[in-house]
Amino acid sequence: MAKKTVTSLAVNGKKVLVRVDFNVPLDEKLNITDDRRIVAALPTIRNIIDRGGIAILMSHLGRPKGGPEPKYSLKPAAEHLAKLLGKPVKLAPDCIGEAVRNMVATLKPGDVLVLENTRFHKGEEKNDAEFASQLAALGDLYVNDAFGTAHRQHASTYGVPEKLGPGRRVIGMLIEKELKFLGDSLDHPHRPFIAILGGAKVSDKIAVIENLLSKADYVLIGGAMAYTFFLSQGKKVGKSLCEKDKAPLAGSLLQKAGGKLILPTDTVVAREMTDQAQTRVVVGDIPDDMEGFDIGPATAQHYAKLISAARTVVWNGPMGVFEKKPFQNGTRVVAEAMAGITSHGATTIIGGGDSAAAIEEFGLADKVSHVSTGGGASLEFLEGKGFACIDLLDNV
């Protein structure tokens, strides 16, 4: 996907519609608890305004019910962006309408305007043609820098660039980076290439596992999805989270894998998922009254050894319930192993979502090659799916 980027646009004096991903977590007082997605958009925004362009930013936040809801306003994001940029950032009262058009008409080169939450309108998720036209009319050029929503054909991600037409629609620096790391690593990996998959459900990752088995040297499995694989082998899983109906499918994946799919050999179990839980390490069957919450220490060390020899590692999904201290070890050991090989020139990629939260919590986010900003998007990318919202944009 050789796409034109924001640096190729002549932005001086132009109004540039930028689809950013400011869907950031907020606490009860509407304070931002994780600003990574806003920080990730800064290079593209700065590139536009430093070259005399006008940056008009579009984003969604949360899941409003088809109308304005104060708790989903982009006001906190706009205020935080102003601090990060060190200059005023205006917030529009809406994302379309006369008041917004009037506001846009007053903007000068170097100005930044955040449009209010696009999902305050039902037309956004429906990719409504009229809604997309009203958004498109606000700008001269279009930049998509929201990897987290690039797998969704909404008005702000697909309808707007479709309306603006060829020659005026490109990717931003964040998407350029995501495509470089996720795309190059999957298509031309330095070997050995290891994929690590965790999380709760095999069903969420079937297509990912199948795609990665054709590309990776090993696929390491952790998280609750391991218990569905255990079940397919006739092992007892106790009270562990498990998809019994997917056990035959898990078994067929193991057969297809031909030794590439590596399962845990031991498990950290407990009767409760709390910070004070009394834990045991079991090999093989999990007792009927216990539940698995993490890969065991022997598995963690085995995975770390495999990772230490790798030149490319892609990781999506924690090894256990890392949010609780008794069940952090597996995820931490994997994260530390990835940080270790990064310092020796290996390419290490964290596929967003819970894995990104984990590596951030362990203070290792800056010790890996790339932390993706897209949970669902990076997962679909790992499945090998194409993204229509990116395909639509101008080629080099």
- List, for residues 297-347, the tens digit of each pLDDT value: 999 999 999 999 999 999 999 999 999 999 999 999 999 999 999 999 999
Q: Are residues 164 and 104 in the same domain?
A: yes
Q: Are residues 257 and 109 in the same domain?
A: no
| The total number of structural domains that make up the chain | 2
Establish if 163 belongs to a structural domain. Answer: yes
Q: Is the peptide bond before 192 cis (omega within 30 degrees of 0)?
A: yes
Q: Are residues 317 and 360 in the same domain?
A: yes
Establish if 90 belongs to a structural domain. Answer: yes
Catalytic residue among 123, 139, 238, 353: 353
145-160 pLDDT, tens per residue?
A: 999 898 899 999 999 9
Chain-wide mean pLDDT for the chain?
A: 94
Q: Is 201 marked active-site?
A: yes
Domain end point (choices 132, 155, 177)? 177
pTM beyond 0.75: yes
pLDDT beyond 90 at 62:
yes
Q: Is 351 marked active-site?
A: no
Q: Are residues 232 and 255 in the same domain?
A: yes
205-246 pLDDT, tens per residue?
A: 888 898 899 999 999 999 999 999 999 999 999 999 999 999
Q: 241 lies in which domain range?
A: 189-382
175-189 pLDDT, tens per residue?
A: 999 998 888 888 889
Catalytic residue among 3, 15, 19, 37: 37
Q: Is 280 marked active-site?
A: no
Size (the chain), residues: 396
* Radius of gyration over every alpha carbon of the chain, rounded to an integer in angstroms: 23
Q: Are strands 90-91 and 112-114 parallel, antiparallel or unpaired?
A: parallel
Establish if 62 belongs to a structural domain. Answer: yes
Q: Are residues 15 and 142 in the same domain?
A: yes
CA–CA separation, 143 and 141 (whole Å): 7
Domain end point (choices 142, 177, 212)? 177
Q: Is 345 marked active-site?
A: no
Q: Using alpha carbons, list the distances in angstroms from residue 69 to 62, 81, 121, 137.
A: 10, 21, 11, 25
